[in-house]
Amino acid sequence: MIASWVLGWITAKSIYVSGLGADWVFPLVGTSWFFLAFFCFNGENWIVQGLKPARQFFLLLILIGGLTYVLTHTDVGWIPAWWFPFNLVGAGTGTLAYLTRGMRQPEKSVTQMSLLFLVAGAVIWASMGLGFWDADAEGVAAFWNMGAIGAGNEWLVFFMVGTSLNFALPVLFHNWPFTHIPMPWGGILACCFYLALDVVVTMVLLAGVGSLYSQEQLLTYAYMGVNWSLVIPLVFGVGLSQPYLWRGQRTPGNWEDVDEAVPNAA
Write the CB contacts of 119 (distance below 8 Å, at least 6 apart in sequence).
Answer: 83, 86
Q: Look at residue 3 in the predicted model and tell me its pLDDT.
A: 74
CA dist 162 to 22, 137, 165, 169, 196, Å? 19, 23, 5, 11, 10
Amino acid at 136: D
Q: Tell me the C-alpha distance between 104 and 46, whole Å.
A: 9
Q: Look at residue 82 in the predicted model and tell me its pLDDT.
A: 92
Q: Look at residue 140 in the predicted model and tell me its pLDDT.
A: 67
Q: Look at residue 260 in the predicted model and tell me its pLDDT.
A: 64
The answer to whether 248 touches 182, Cβ cutoff 8 Å, is: yes
Q: Look at residue 144 in the predicted model and tell me its pLDDT.
A: 73
Q: Look at residue 266 in the predicted model and tell me its pLDDT.
A: 40
List strand residue ranges (DSSP E) for the chain, in order. Answer: 133-134, 148-149
Q: Look at residue 143 in the predicted model and tell me its pLDDT.
A: 72
Cβ atoms within 10 Å, residue 95:
26
The answer to whether 85 touches 163, Cβ cutoff 8 Å, is: yes
Give every residue of the chain whose pLDDT is below 50, as ranges.
Answer: 261-266
Q: With both helix axes pointing from N to C terminus, report the angle between 185-207 and 215-223 in degrees, rounded to the nearest 10.
A: 150
